[in-house]
Structures are given as C-alpha cells and as structure tokens.
Structure 1
Amino acid sequence: MKTKFPIHTTLSADAIKVLERYEKELGAKNVVLEKALLNLDTTRFKAKLDTQNIDKLIKRINTGIPGLDDFLEGGIPKGFAVIVTGPPGTGKTTFSMQYLMEGVKNGERCIFFSFEERAQQLVQHFTRFGWDVGKYIDDGYLEIFGISMLTSEEMIEIIDSHKPERVVFDSLNVLTAPADFRTSTAWRSLHRLLKKNMITSLLVTEKSHGIERKEFDDFDFLGDGVVFLDFIQTNDIDTTPMPVMAVQKMRATRVDHTPQPFRFTNSGIAKYRALNIPSQTLQQRIEKRRAERLGIEKSAEM
C-alpha cells in the first residue's frame, strides 16, 4: 500500500506540483521527499529575492539641512533609520524638526513622537524658526505627540493610520535602555513596520560624552546611519565652542566622517560646512580635546 505524506500548509501550488511529480515518478519514499524539498528551496528563495528586478537606484530623502545632502550623495536613503545623537543642547531636536519641515513642505506626511517635551512646547520650538506648523497640522501633514506615554503597539497603530513618509522619535533613551533596545520585541515590531513601509526615520539619542570619544552603544549599531552633533573649540583666539556635525555612518553612501561646522540661525540650522576651516584643523582640535579628557580621567583615578 502506498504511503501518503502530509503536504505542508505553507507550500505553494508550484511546490505541491513538484512533490506530486517526484511521487509519481519515483514513489512515496523519504529520499524522494528530500529531493523535492531541495528543489523547492532553490526555487523558493529565487522567488523571494529576484535580483534582476531589484531597483538599483537608491532613492534619497532630502534632510532640509543646507549643504548636508551634498555629502550624502543627495540625502538619506529612503527607508533608513538614522541615529541623531550627541550631548544635551547640541541641536538634535532642531535637526529633527527641520528634517520634518522639509518633508511637509514637499507634501509628505510626518510624525513627531517626543518622550520628553509637551506638544505645546514643541510647537513653540517650531514657530520660533518661522515654521508655520499650525497650517501643516490642520492640513493633516504633521502630527505631534508630546511627552508621549504611548506604547509601541499604539505608535504602530498611529503610523499605520497616518501612513507617514518621515517619523522622528525623540529620544529613545527615555523609551528604552540601549542594552535592551536591539532585543526588545516591542521595538522590533515597530522597526519592522518602518522598514516594511519604507519610512525614513530619525531616532534621537543622548550621549554623555563628546564627539572626541570613540564609544558607541546599541542604538548606533542598529541604525542605518549615525549623525553626531557637538560643540568644539576651533581655534586658540576665539575660545567660544562652535557647533559641529559629523556623519559617522551611513550605509550605501560614501561619506566624509570629519566633523564640520554649522550655524544656528533664526530659520534653523544653516550653512553646513560653510566656514572655511580645514578638516585637519578640526581633527586636531578633537584629538587635543580627547587627550585633555583622558588626562582629567587619569588624574581623578589617582
């Protein structure tokens, strides 16, 4: 009597035909089933990843930061999750708001999730740069959630409903600890949604150290890109620290990792790499700052 093997429910119609063909030709034997499954593996994965039809052109999203897109081959690759990090008060929230304003001006839906500031405070922050956020909120292009106590499931529901092209989370340190971030099932579900819908997101995080220290956390490793904002002294005459920005990582992009100066203006962040300060000079300042920090830490240990 011929033994029938149960057909796995996940097999496609084509897969079942392969099984039936082997069964008809060679009989219902284990070796037949193994050969059929090997054949299925080959055809299944080819169907999942059709390299011939993948769009080779990487679509890029403008950041809204003057000059920065030129150093990112046109902008952030669409669908990327980019870490915007640095010590407190270095312009991370302003950077993120300017990124969203660039989106709404282009007719893109955007969401700002803040875990530290009230919505009213955020709107005031927006308007001080002359951005008419009220209009974009009324028109449905911008949603702001201040001091968000939302669960990841609720944020997923909001994103599913609003269908944004840009999302900002400020800051992730309040939402989860870096050590728990990559293994969090809640975050993985949210991250999967962002990737599936090709939503380009900024994930704001806090650093307790400056740009001179080569120290990274789990947020940085997960992100497709890392932009570090800080203040450093650029010359011996003017000791006022200058804001600098460094693209430390951006997948699928050739980048200059050297920190470059920028300015805060009445209309936001302006003129990235506008000041004619050689990269070598900035790098020397960073090395000097690193040496000074190390000297202070060693003295404290003695």
Structure 2
Amino acid sequence: MRAKHPIHTTISTEAIRVLERYEKELGAKNTVLERALLNMDKLRFKAKLDTTRMETHIKRISTGIPGLDNLLEGGIPKGFLITLTGPPGTGKTTLAMQFLLEGTEHHEKCLLFSYEEDIKQLVKHCTRFGWDIGKYLNDGYLEVFGITRLTPEEIIDVIEAFKPERIVFDSINVFADTHNLRHTPSWRNVLKTIKTREITTIIVTEKRHGLEKREYDDYDFMSDGIIFLDKTTLSEFDTYKTYVLAIQKMRATKTDETPKPIKFTEKGIEFYKQLHLPGEKETRQRTTNPLNPRTHR
C-alpha cells in the first residue's frame, strides 16, 4: 500500500502516523485532521524559535544606581519581575524611584503604584535628592497613583493605556498578599500582562528580619530576582550600622551575593568602593563612620 502524501510536506513524521491511523479507521482521507496536525506542527516550531531567541539575546535595563549595573552584567534583564525587599527604613522607596527616574531620563514611560505615600509626600521625598518628578509628570514619561486602591482589572487598564516600560509597586504587601498575587485569577492576569508586554517591574516588599536570616516568602519565589537592603555593622569593633545591598537572586545573571556597602548622597543611592564587610578581604584602615545616621525609606 502506497503511503499517503500530506497536503504540505512540512508535516512531521509523528503527525503523519497519527493521520494515517485515523484515515485507516475512517476509510477516507481526513483533510480537516491533516490541517489541524499541520497547524500544531507550526506552533511547536514557532515555540522552539522563540525559545532560541530568548536564550541567545538578553537585553538589560539600567537600574540608575551607580555601581549596581556592574554587579548585574550591565543591568536587570528586560521584562524581569524583581522583588526589592528588606526591613523598614533601609532605602527601598529611594532605590525604586531611582530605577524609575533612570527610565524617564531616557524617555521611557514609567508607572508607579504607591500604596503608602500620596503624591505630595512622594514629591517631598524626591526633592531631598534633587529629583524633579514634576517635570517627568508634565512631560508624560511618569504616571503616579498614590495611596491607590485600584482593582487588578483597573491596573491592567492603566498598563494597557499608558504602555510603560518600567513599573514599581510600593509596597505591595499593603495591597495584595502573596496568595492573592499568585493564585487569584485577576492578579495572575496582571502578572501575565506585565510578562507579555516585557515590562521590567519592581515590587517592593517589607521584611521583619535582616540579612542575618535566610528566610523567603512567596513574593521572593515568584520573582526573577531579589535585591535585599539592610543595615549592619562592618566589623565587631564598630558601634554604628552601615546600609548594605545584597543581590540574593537574579536569573540569567552571574551575581555575587556578598552584601555591598551603599551610601545616601544628595543624588540618591551610591556604592562605597573602599568599604568591606566581614568575610571580605580588608584593604583599608578602620575609619570613623562616614554615614549620616538618618533613616531612609
């Protein structure tokens, strides 16, 4: 018996076997089934091509933090969801705003959902570092929703209308618990929208502990990366605490999890180059505290 010839020669061998079995049982040619199998083959091939592109090309987004991009092979991979976490008063809001303003400086549309501060408080916070967010609001590169209680459906509407390249949720603990964020269909649709549009996103969360504990919550597990901010002493002889940043996780990126000292300047967060934490090679004489002991959000 001669083998049947498919309508298109691109149909796979496996699909041909399925087609021949059903045609034998039906006793006639099944064009509908043949076309369906062909379309399935095309979808499988397309998926393989898409996966190849993702693995071979990773576009990275600058964080706006001097020194941090160097620790991330050039920046956060585009479209990643990052958890920015740590105890209260460690600079999470400041870092998140620097991330957004770095985007606006390059004419990227950025979106902030702030669940703890209204717009007036946010402007005052930014003014401390010389950031004129009013300019970016007026220019249309930044949209801010302060102390907002938008539904997940409304958040999706805002994202689809504004088409941002960067989003910050600060602090998301106030608005959605981890169960809702991961399992509620409406919130899953928010995350799906963000991922589909490849919007680089930071979700700010609060921790009740510092780096001394290695405890993770569902926010950490659902994200592509974790940046942890904390305050700690540099040595057993120090009586003051220094602000530090640790990259605990970043997919598709080689990272060093060792906490790095940071400082708050008139321009925002920067890295110290001369300071070392316990466990690192000491290359300096012990100095007086270079930091202003202010608490930062």
TM-score range for the pair, normalised by the shorter chain length: 0.7 to 0.9
Q: How many residues align?
A: 265
Q: Structure 1 residues 115, 43: closer, same or farther in 2, change over 3 A?
A: same
Task: Quote the offset at 1:49 in angstroms.
Answer: 2.9
Q: Is residue 2:43 matched to residue 1:44?
A: yes
Q: How much does 1:199 deviate? A: 0.4
Name the structure with the higher helix share.
1
Shift of 1:124: 1.3
Query: Which AA in structure 1 matches 2:47?
Result: K
Is contact 1:93–1:170 with CA below 8 Å preserved after alignment? yes
- The aligned amino acid for 1:268 is G
- RMSD over equivalenced CA pairs, Å: 2.9
- CA deviation map 1:31-83 (0-9, x unaligned): x89x9577764443123331586151200000001100001000000000000
Confirm or deny: 8 A CA contact 2:152 2:187 kept in the other structure: yes
Q: What letter matches 1:66 in structure 2?
A: P
> Residue type of the partner of 1:47?
K
Check the 8 A contact 1:109/1:164 in 2, yes or no: yes
3-state SS, counterpart of residue 143 of structure 2: strand
For 1:142-181, what per-residue CA distance to the aligned partner results, in whole angstroms no more than 9, with x for missing partners? 1111001111111111111111100000111111222443
The Cα of 1:236 is off from its aligned counterpart by: 3.5
TM-score by length of 2: 0.81
State the Cα distance separating 1:273 from its structure 2 match: 4.5
Equivalent residue letter for 2:279: Q
**Secondary structure of 2:117's aligned partner:** coil
Rounded Cα–Cα distance in structure 1 between residues aligned with 2:179 and 2:243: 29
CA shift for structure 1 position 211: 1.1
Post-superposition CA distance 1:177-205 (Å, at most 9, x none): 22443112222111111111110000000
- Once the two structures are superposed, what CA deviation does each residue of 1:113-150 show, in whole Å capped at 9, x if it has no partner? 01111111111111221011111100000111100111
Tell me how far apart the structure 2 counterparts of residues 277 and 110 of structure 1 sit (CA, whole Å): 34
Counterpart code for 1:251: R
Shift of 1:28: 2.5
Q: Is the 8 A contact 1:181 1:218 kept in 2?
A: no
Residue 28 of structure 1 pairs with residue 45 of structure 2: no
Partner AA of 2:119 in structure 1: A
Give the distance between the partners of 1:24 and 1:230, measured in 2 at CA: 64
Whether 2:275 is the aligned partner of 1:276: answer yes
Decide whether the 8 Å contact of 1:234 with 1:281 is kept in 2.
Answer: no
1:83–1:227: 8 Å Cα contact kept in structure 2?
A: yes
Secondary structure of the corresponding residue to residue 261 of structure 1: strand
Identify the residue that residue 233 of structure 1 maps to in structure 2.
233
After superposition, the Cα gap between the structure-2 partners of 1:45 and 1:113, relative to the gap in structure 1 and judged at 3 Å, is: same
Distance 1:189 1:29 in 2: 45
Quote the residue 1:81 is aligned against. Answer: 81
* Structure 2, gaps ≥5 residues long: 1-9, 282-297
- Native 8 Å contact 2:180 2:187 kept in 1: no
Structure 1 residue runs of 5 or longer lacking an equivalent are 1-13, 283-302
User: One-letter code of the match for 1:275?
Assistant: Q
Aligned to 2:172: 172
1:141-160 superposed matches below 5 A: 141-160=141-160
Residue 275 of structure 2 aligns with an amino acid whose one-letter code is N
Q: CA deviation at 1:27?
A: 6.2
Deviations 1:17-37 (A, max 9, x none): x89x8599646269x89x957
1:174 and 1:24 mapped to 2: Cα distance? 56
Match of 1:122 in 2: 122
